[in-house]
C-alpha cells in the first residue's frame, strides 16, 4: 500500500459532524484509501459512478416524506 500524505488529515477530520468529500482524478486510490481508513466503522459510501447515485446528487431534495 502506498502511504498517502492526506491520510492523517482525513483521519483527524472524521466523525466531527461534517461531511467529507474526497475528490480527485480517476483511479488514484481514493476508494481504497477511504475504505482502509473506515474499515470497522459504519459509514455511508456514495459512488458517483453509479447512475442512480449521480441522479440523486445532481437533483438534491430536502423535503421529508
**Residue 1 included in any domain:** no
The residues near 37 (Cβ < 8 Å, ≥ 6 apart) are 7, 10, 11, 14
pLDDT value of position 57: 85
Is there a contact between 43 and 37 (Cβ–Cβ < 8 Å)?
A: no
Predicted TM-score (pTM) above 0.75: no
pLDDT value of position 2: 67
- Domain range for 17: 7-58
Q: Per-residue pLDDT tens, the chain, 65 aa: give them.
A: 567 788 888 888 888 888 888 888 989 888 889 889 889 888 888 888 899 999 988 887 777 76
Number of domains in the chain: 1
**Residue 65 included in any domain:** no
**Residue 33 included in any domain:** yes
Amino acid at each position: 500500500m502506498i502511504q498517502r500524505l492526506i491520510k492523517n488529515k482525513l483521519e483527524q477530520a472524521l466523525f466531527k459532524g461534517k461531511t467529507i468529500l474526497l475528490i480527485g482524478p480517476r483511479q488514484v486510490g481514493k476508494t481504497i484509501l477511504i475504505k482502509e481508513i473506515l474499515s470497522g466503522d459504519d459509514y455511508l459510501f456514495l459512488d458517483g459512478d453509479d447512475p442512480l447515485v449521480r441522479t440523486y446528487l445532481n437533483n438534491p431534495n430536502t423535503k421529508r416524506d
